Chain A
Amino acid sequence: QVQLQQWGAGLLKPSETLSLTCTIYGGSFSGYYWNWIRQPPGKGLEWIGKINHSGSTNYNPSLKSRVTISVDTSKNQFSLKLSSLTAADTAVYYCARGVGDPWGQGTLVTVSS
């Protein structure tokens, strides 16, 4: 059974860059798109972007200028970088395979000075 384990810094300052990594256990990259999704506290879900095993990406236009999603197939990992953080980027960030099976456990990222 495929599992996703994600990690990264949870407390960042305004203008800094968020960096999160998601490792895939029990499965391979091929045949799927791998997504990042976020959820501000008490609010709904926002799709950030996706990547496939060959590195082809799609980003949400609302974040595109600040987002980079990359893949390291040798480590079965994919990563998210979000630059120029503001308080509005405070959210739980999730990685997920395909249309949502499975999801990572989520990482709360707080942006505060």
Chain B
Amino acid sequence: SAVISQKPSRDICQRGTSLTIQCQVDSQVTMMFWYRQQPGQSLTLIATANQGSEATYESGFVIDKFPISRPNLTFSTLTVSNMSPEDSSIYLCSVLFSGRVPFFGPGTRLTVL
């Protein structure tokens, strides 16, 4: 199993600013994922972040808007850049462990004014 923490747990930000969300895992994992959950919606995959390579973004998401770092096997960051109210969502990181069992962080609730 895995324990995943995210910082911050929530934030309220002004339009045009950027926020960096941190995801820390208590053990080494190869595959880490970032999701967005907009109000009343399901989870949408933003990108896959693998250590040692650039993140792979899903359709509709670009690196300039959501830059991702993955400096080691236990940590990743997602930045939401030049925010607008439409970016108000819950952002979750996730990892896949042996047997392809997913674990999710508690999420970061972002409100953009």
Q: Do A and B come from one complex?
A: no
Please give the residue numbers on chain A whose beta carbons come within 8 Å of chain B beta carbons, in ascending order. none
